[in-house]
Structure 1
Amino acid sequence: MNRVTSTDHDSPIGPILLTFVDAALVRLDVAHEGIDPARADIARRLGVLPEPDAATGAPLVRQLDEYFAGRRRSFEVELDWRLVRGFTRAALEAALDIPYGEVASYGEVAVMAGAPGAARAVGTACASCPFSIVVPVHRVVRADGAIGEYGGHPEVKEHLLALENATVLGEGLRVAP
């Protein structure tokens, strides 16, 4: 039997609920509506109420803090894909290849996922991503460069893109001793 645990974390973009099956992240939820509704939603999806456990989530909490401080560009956590179906997984795996501080259009991600012409399906995949931030769907934008909705919270997407851009630009401005 798998052990399902969760921990919550305050972040610059709001409360985050991290849920794990054994040691693999099954969902990272930016809990705009609150931690309790997010916990109820994941319990419904998994069929079990996650057991609170800060220890399991501690490494990812540390990585998220490093990311928000501009000191981390990618995450080292095993992903549990059980909440992802069909083409969505290919699209999300393609999004993992978008470099930090850069963006790709929905159409470009569709090509990367092996399905040219599936830009709308990429949009749907990004909207349903259970690994927000860790899988950088915030780096996927419209063909005209507009950032899109990001689950009804475009300000979060804007914040994440600005954070990455500031980090990249800041590194370019460093002067050698």
Structure 2
Amino acid sequence: MGDGVVSVGSFHPNKRQLFQLRIASRFPETRFRIVGSVSSESYYERCEQYISDHALDNVNLLTDISDRDLYDILDRSGIFFHTMQNERFGIATVEGLNHGCIPVVHDSGGQREVVPDSKFRFNTTSDCVSTLKRALSGRHPDDQETKEHLRQFTRKRFQEMLSSII
């Protein structure tokens, strides 16, 4: 398992990076890498201010990085953290799982489809803290089941499904 926590999503209030920062403040010994493009400059600045105000030295905000750098970060990370509520489908979570990360995701929307094991989903802040603690202790979904589950999200499968519709 890799080291630390990674999240991927544009810096925008609906992605809830401020929530991620509040969670990171509870895990000062854990590295959090929050990756994304800046779609809301004011929200990104609020995230930076929160880090400064709370002296969070365990968090890096990484903007507009290359795909190669993103894949390297995913490969080095242990946990993929996704906090958006009611997202229809989050391809970023699939990418995190494909890179071997343990998921910790909000229990809503498409994340239920991507992460069928409810032990790795959360609703409340306290659920999130407990789920993250469990993941950091090394508990993870069954590898074989996860690999089989992820097969439905491959590019080939997507192309086949699209072809059948067209």
TM-score by length of 2: 0.28
Higher helix share: 2
Greater relative CO, 1 or 2 (CA 8 Å, sep 6+)? 2
TM-score by length of 1: 0.26
